[in-house]
Every structure is written in C-alpha cells, then in structure tokens.
Amino acid sequence: MDTKRDDSPSRLGLRERKQVKTRGLLQAEALRLFREQGYAETSVNEIAEAVEVSPSTFYRYFPTKEDVVLYDAFDPILIEALRAQPSELNLIGAVRAAMTSVLGSSSGAMATQMQERSDLMLAVPELRRGMLDAMLASVEPLAQVLGERVGRSPDDFDVRNVVAAVIGVGLLAWLDAGGRVHDFPARIDAALAHLEAGLPLTNRR
C-alpha cells in the first residue's frame, strides 16, 4: 500500500485535486491499454499519449510502469477511515471497521478497476514482486496511525508487530480469495476477526 500521500478530497486544494485527477486518468488509461494490448506490449509513452501528457509527466506521478498498477487510491482513504474510528475499539477492531467502511463504499467502476489491478498483479511476475515491496512500504503509515491510537511511537516493537500481523492476514485473505475483489471483503473481515480473537487454533482430531 502506498499511503505516503493523503489524497482525501476534503484535505486537498485545487492544485492537489488536479494532481489526483491526472493520477487517476493515467492509471485508468494504463489499465485500458493493458487490457487491450497486454501489459508487456504497452509502453509508458503510449499511456502518456492517451492522457495527452508527456512521458516526463507520467514519471512525476509513477516512477515506473509497475507503479501505475500498484498504486492504490484507497490506501489514503483507509488511513483516514482508521483515524476516524472510535477510541474504544481495540487496534484490530478499528482496522476491521475501517476496512469494512472503505470496501463497502467502493463504486462498481472502482471495483472493476481494482479487479483489473489484482489480475495483473497475479499474472505479471514483476508486479507480484512490486506488490510485496508496496506492502512493506505500508508498514510505516500503518504504524503511525496505530501508534497514535495507543500513545506509542510508530517505531515501538509491539506496534510494528501488530502492523505485520495485519499485513500478513491481509495478504493471505487476498490469496485465499484468488485475487477476486468480490470475495475479498468477507475474506479480510474473517481474517481480521481471527486475528482480533488472538488467532485461536483448536485441535479438531
């Protein structure tokens, strides 16, 4: 997850809103071209041309072609939703509530785009590797917001351990869902519920 930017519309000025719009157009056109031509067969120049910007403008928003797929517009929204959760919720309960809120508010068009990105990340080796890097990059912003909730530093070992557990169950939920966006909300909620309960594992023999 790339959560370094706060792209919440309520917090952005005109210039920043234009940047969000351009980033969204670049990603949407890239996904269209990947769908029509294939990922490997589509160049950055073609994506930039489709949006009528220069390749250098593309690289200001996305350092590599992989990043145009890996960027998730919901990440900053998730962080904001997590900050908005009531203080009486425990850390995992707050993550569950924020995740449910964000996933439940996605439009049909956004879900379709998320599915296209998910399919590409499963199919293209360099995107699978990039996805893991992006998940590691999400440790810092998640540690920041979870640390705030308990009055601890984001560098606190216990805070980062919780973050690692959240990311781990999230990855497994996505894999268990086979990358299917429609199935992911129920999978991630079940995974977080298990984590919230302390990961009980009883002997069924």
> First and final CA of the chain: distance in angstroms?
39
- Is the C-alpha dihedral spanning 160, 161, 162, 163 positive or negative? positive
Q: What DSSP letter does each residue of 4-72 carry, written as one string?
A: SS---GGG--HHHHHHHHHHHHHHHHHHHHHHHH-TTT--HHHHHHHHT--HHHHHHH-SSHHHHHH--
Look at residue 106 in the predicted model and tell me its pLDDT.
67
In 3D space, the residue among 146, 143, 163 whose CA is nearest the CA of residue 155 turns out to be: 143
Q: Please report, to the nearest 10 degrees, the dihedral formed by the alpha carbons of residues 132, 137, 140, 146 taken in order.
A: -40
Average pLDDT over residues 124-128: 90
The CATH architecture of the domain made up of 9-196 is: Orthogonal Bundle (1.10)
pLDDT at 1 over 60: no
pLDDT at 113 over 90: no
In 3D space, the residue among 33, 120, 27, 35 whose CA is nearest the CA of residue 74 turns out to be: 27
Collapsed DSSP state (helix, strand, coil) of residue 195: helix
Q: What is the pTM of this model?
A: 0.79
- CA–CA gap between residue 3 and residue 98 (Å, rounded): 15
What's the pLDDT tens digit per position in 28-80? 999 999 999 999 999 999 999 999 999 999 999 999 999 999 998 777 888 99
* CA 71 to centroid of chain Cα atoms: 7
Task: Check if the beta carbon of residue 120 is closer than 8 Å to that of residue 129.
Answer: no
Of residues 148 and 129, more confidently modeled:
148
Average pLDDT over residues 112-121: 89
- CA–CA gap between residue 181 and residue 14 (Å, rounded): 32
- CA–CA gap between residue 199 and residue 38 (Å, rounded): 41
Q: Please report, to the nearest 10 degrees, the dihedral formed by the alpha carbons of residues 92, 195, 162, 3 taken in order.
A: -60
- Token match 């070992």: residue? 157
The DSSP secondary-structure symbol of 89 reads S
